[in-house]
Amino acid sequence: MKLILGPKLEGCLFCEKAREDNDKQNLILHRGSTCFIMLNAYPYNNGHLMVVPYAHVGNVDQLDTPVLTDLMLLVKRSVIVLQRAMNPDGFNMGVNIGKVAGAGIEGHVHFHVVPRWLGDTNFMPVLGETRLIPEPLDVTYDKLIAAGIADLTIA
């Protein structure tokens, strides 16, 4: 509720959070050379991560090859650590480009990594238009840090 009712940022959420020096409060789990990993403050499921380039661009075709490579290596890191920490049965992954495609933040492209478990959906999102997330974000954050998201070596 604090996130929903609290003050809203002016400008780009990703750019603002990346500039600040309070990673835990901003849910940033890992900073790479061209991209970073953060928890989604409005998750579809526990452990819903976003991999975000530092570059403020709206589409993947505006990212150069080193950034795209870093982005995918951080997606790989996310999957490995989520498997280690949360043991999901599968994942949804993707990018929403443009409002019509469901982009919540249109001007700054980002990649979603959503862990899934058998039976993790129920009637609440369909009938009640409400999502239930049984674990607080700070608990998930600590769990992923403990599983090595910040310091895992990816080859």
Are the C-beta atoms of 54 and 63 separated by less than 8 Å? no
User: In terms of Cα–Cα distance, which of 21, 24, 49 is closest to 37?
Assistant: 49
User: In terms of Cα–Cα distance, which of 151, 121, 123 is closest to 30?
Assistant: 151
Strand, helix or coil for residue 79: helix
| Residue 79 CB neighbour total at 10 angstroms | 16
Terminal-to-terminal C-alpha distance of the chain: 39
Please give the positions annotated as active site: 110
Are the C-beta atoms of 69 and 111 separated by less than 8 Å? no
Q: Which two tokens stand for residue 79?
A: 């999957």
User: Residue 99 has what DSSP assignment?
Assistant: G
